[in-house]
Copies of this chain bind each other. A is one copy, B any other.
Amino acid sequence: MNSPRWLDEEQQRAWRAYLRMQGRLTARLNRQLQTGSALSLADYEVLVQLTDVEEGRLRPFELQRGLHWEQSRLSHQLTRMRHRGLVRREECAEDGRGAFVVITEEGRQAITAAAPGHAETVLRLFFDGLTREQVTALEQLSTQILDRLDTTEETTK
């Protein structure tokens, strides 16, 4: 990093617009979920993973890989969800270190109740405002950046 580079005019504009959009959209989605169904976005994502598998149960490390979360974040999140009765723990016979996380009936009801409102909000706030081409472009762009993040692992700074 010899000669420090800087964002040019257009990059600045794009970056600020993106950051603001991102922050406000997330806030709105979170709020809608919270007030509509007492779930957070984090709860929602965990429950989605669990309902995606037939038995409704996963090892925490599988959840982690699916969500791309930090291990400790997941652990704390699961503790909270357990206390609120959304998931339950089960011992794991094959591996004495681990456990299973199982969605409870209450958790199932919660996400079933929350899903339509959440989907509608995502559509209304986001997709209804974009053309098909824009959606395609966004997916393409996101995928590119994700690859980039994977390949640029720990060179930071």
Contacts and interface: CB of A to CB of B under 8 A. Distances in A.
Interface of A: 1, 4-7, 10-11, 13-15, 17-18, 20-26, 28, 31-32, 35-36, 68, 116-117, 119-130, 132, 134-149, 152, 156-157
Given A14-B138, A144-B130, A120 B1 contact: yes
Given A32-B156, A152-B125, A139 B13 contact: yes
A39 to B, nearest CB: 13
Contacts of A26: 22
A154 to B, nearest CB: 10
A5 to B, nearest CB: 6
Contacts of A14: 135-136, 138-139, 142
Decide if the interface of chain A is mainly helix, strand, loop or mixed.
helix
Given A13-B139, A18-B138, A36-B156, 16 more contacts: A1-B117, A4-B120, A10-B136, A14-B138, A21-B149, A31-B156, A32-B157, A35-B156, A125-B145, A126-B148, A129-B144, A130-B144, A134-B137, A134-B141, A134-B144, A138-B141
